[in-house]
Structure 1
Amino acid sequence: MSAADLRAMLAADHVTHVPGVYDPASAALAVRAGHRAVHLSGEAVAATMLGQPDLGFTPATQIADRAAVLLPVLGGTPLLADAAIGYDSPHHAVWTALAYQRAGIGGLRLDDGPDATLAAARITALVEQAPQVMLIAQAGGSGPAETIERCRAFATAGADAVLPLGVREADDLGRLRAELPGVPMVVIRSETATGGSRLSDAELADLGVRLVLHPLAAVLAALRAASLTYRAIADEGHATQVDRLPPAVLATLTERPDGPTGRGIDKIDT
């Protein structure tokens, strides 16, 4: 779960897509699909462990506990996790980041909160005292200009990359790249966002984007499939018509692909 692997992705000249995972089965499927990194978001933990929408209250302990469960099936694939609760002060940020590191988390997506000065202080403390965790500094603002200024402050504080919230259009990303040359960018491909263009990977790479996060795509797909299955059982008494993973695969899902019971599973259509 090396932060060095995540930092290498930031140093590359292309985009890496990072899907959200939420349990060992989803993590195993993501790895088998060939993803080089995965993301554990507060939204995913809130939905699958707490049964609630994420309102920014998912405890850091829940995220660390879930990460520890994912660790055995990731096989060294780096794990990026949300960092919001438990990062109130520089001291708390370092303590929580080290707990994340022990749980196998290699990178943090650090929420900035309303106070940019405090956010920069947290970043400085993390860089100095938790260097084995890669740090993506999330930056919000009332508009592109404020978001860019926050990104500048966070990059100066030592963040490995910046995530400009709400900045998705080519012109705004280009402006940020021009003002912060050499600073890797991360963007979220939100399943709830409306409007805006869908830039290609090549266009994103030219604009300085190195990671694209997909925090909820798998959760929403899984819940949709579960909804259809439950409705079919209620209406028909069975779910034969619902497309599902073959039962035989379930028992071997988290086996190593080259293990005695794992042969050929990486070739199934998931």
Structure 2
Amino acid sequence: MVNASNRASRTPAGQLRELLTAAPSRGPLLAPGAYDALSARLVADAGFDCVYMTGFGTTASLIGQPDIGLLTATEMADNARRIAAAIGDTPLIADADTGYGNALNVARTVETYERAGVAGIQLEDQVMPKRCGHMAGKQVIPTSEMTGKIRAACDARRDPDTVIIARTDAVATDGVDAALERARAFRDAGADVLFVEAPTGEADVEKIADTLAAGTPLLFNWAEGGKTPPLPLSRLRELGFALVLYPIGTLLAATAGVRSLLSALRRDGTPAAALNDSQSVSLPGFEEFTDLVGLPAAREREARYT
């Protein structure tokens, strides 16, 4: 963990870079996914050193729809702004999909995300409208177009520490070797972290790590229930991954908890059974929840002005 007393002297982007640099000795940086400000606050309160804003979860929570490119840049940036405000100086990595257009659009997206408080920006090489990386039917843009987007993203940064994460979805469309070729081109264009999405076997994961991990931080997407094998963290450390995303676990857990509560309410007419069932999801009490979201601190501030 990063010592909290040292955080104030660095921007969140600077903290993120330092954490990624330390990964070879300390192990991969773990980034649980958050889909709103509350889930992000829970991630930070649990002691994780950074938070990942999932596009899949943002889409599901904002409009109740699948991750098939339905949200706009404005909607994504607004969610990032709320999350960044909720987690303070904890670094936020945010999904920025394809950058929402050409290289000029990407530059504006980077500027908007930075103003929202994002420390790391993830861009992918899919054709827009994109799809979740673990869905079928993806298409990718030419490598030259994506490298232009990456150069534009790097040039648009106001904070030189802002981390640009370049993702390729070419494993699904053209195979692992083509994806590796793209990732090398992305690194040459200035990407700070490389992300080869959705390899389907451990041998492919190993090939990606053997080819790319040396010299460039490498991201592993531990997509819960996705196409990539769920490798142990110890193995990911051996392979040299610097950053591991757990994008939708919080969303799935919240879904299970709400379903359990509603099932009890529909069956019994009250939520008492769900509240008292030790075998189900443990629900926080009212005061515990209001403490969690900062009611005591808000009351203290309120008292100063009344």
TM-score by length of 1: 0.89
2:19 is aligned with 1:6: no
- For 1:91 and 1:260, locate their aligned partners in 2 and report how far apart those are by CA, in whole Å: 41
Q: Which amino acid aligns with 2:188?
A: T
Query: Counterpart of 1:246?
Result: 285
Query: Counterpart of 1:80?
Result: 93
More divergent stretch after superposition (143-152 vs 163-172): 163-172
Summarize the Cα distance change of 1:256–1:162 in structure 2 as closer, same or farther, 3 Å threshold. Answer: farther
- For 1:223 and 1:24, locate their aligned partners in 2 and report how far apart those are by CA, in whole Å: 16
Which of 136, 154, 161 pairs up with 2:165?
136
- For 2:97 and 2:37, locate their aligned partners in 1 and report how far apart those are by CA, in whole Å: 23
2:216 is aligned with 1:183: yes
- 1:255 Cα deviation from its structure 2 partner: 2.5
- For 1:188 and 1:8, locate their aligned partners in 2 and report how far apart those are by CA, in whole Å: 20
Instruction: Give the aligned length.
Output: 260
- 1:85 Cα deviation from its structure 2 partner: 5.0
Superposition misfits of 4+ residues, deviation over 6 angstroms: none
- 1:175 Cα deviation from its structure 2 partner: 2.5
More divergent stretch after superposition (84-93 vs 141-150): 84-93
Q: Which amino acid aligns with 1:255?
A: G
- Determine helix, strand or coil for the equivalent of 1:17: strand
- Determine helix, strand or coil for the equivalent of 2:243: strand
Residue pairs, 1:136-215, within 5 angstroms:
136-141=165-170, 142-167=174-199, 169-180=201-212, 181-194=214-227, 196=229, 198-215=230-247
1:177/1:183 contact within 8 Å kept: no
- Determine helix, strand or coil for the equivalent of 2:255: helix
The C-alpha deviation readout for 1:148-207, integer Å capped at 9, x for no partner, is: 1111011111101111112364433333333332121101111232573x3222321221
- Determine helix, strand or coil for the equivalent of 1:26: helix
Summarize the Cα distance change of 1:99–1:71 in structure 2 as closer, same or farther, 3 Å threshold. Answer: same
Query: Counterpart of 1:56?
Result: 69
Higher RCO (CA-CA < 8 Å; seq separation 6+): 1
Query: Counterpart of 1:41?
Result: 54
Cα RMSD for the two superposed structures: 2.2
Q: Any stretches of 5+ residues in structure 2 without a counterpart?
A: 1-10, 127-139, 275-281, 301-306
Summarize the Cα distance change of 1:195–1:51 in structure 2 as closer, same or farther, 3 Å threshold. Answer: closer
Summarize the Cα distance change of 1:247–1:147 in structure 2 as closer, same or farther, 3 Å threshold. Answer: same
Judging by fraction of residues, say which structure has more helix.
Answer: 2
- 1:121 Cα deviation from its structure 2 partner: 0.7
2:79 is aligned with 1:66: yes
Summarize the Cα distance change of 1:51–1:260 in structure 2 as closer, same or farther, 3 Å threshold. Answer: closer
